[in-house]
Amino acid sequence: RLGRELRLFVTDPLAGAGLPLWLPDGAVIRAELERLAAEEAIRGGCQRVYTPVLAKRALFELSGHWAKFADDMFPPMRVGSEEFVLRPANCPHHALIYASEQRSFRDLPVRLSELGSMFRSELSGVLGGLSRVRQINLDDTHVFCAPWQVQDEIVRGVEAVRRCYRLLGIDVARYRLSRRGSG
């Protein structure tokens, strides 16, 4: 409601539900937040990358995203004999970048960061404002590291989040971390 009242964004049935259109004032705020995110990522030792918003379905099958998230993904698009899908996450793309060259353990950790568009096939009944949308732009970092570096990288990541919240004047009382399979 506030975003509409302040004329930051609008939605239009012709664009589709869950696909906000950023108005000039909203675009200024968004651009400043994106700039801050990029600066903080570089400050944190990340290398910025760009990847396509779609990929072959086979990439998401290999990564496990298809098995886990297919119901939340847009259906495949046929291009010739191949199937492409809009990405729900950029993890597989970053894994391809990491794997694109041979690396030594001395090169680790490698931190890849991207502000990229992700697409989720949300049902129209759950869409609302900017909290539940069909396209999000996410500043996402993937860290490739050795097992003995994991703890330091987790601490580094949490500190980066806390620093950004402080810069934005957001007070967070607690953080919750989880591991795969731990709920």
Per-residue pLDDT tens over the stretch 31-87: 999 999 999 999 999 999 999 999 999 999 999 999 988 888 889 999 999 999 999
Cβ-based neighbours of 19, under 8 Å, separated by 6 or more: 11, 133, 134, 135
Q: DSSP character for 83?
A: E
CB-CB contact of 53 with 116 (8 Å) = yes
What is the reported pLDDT for 19?
85
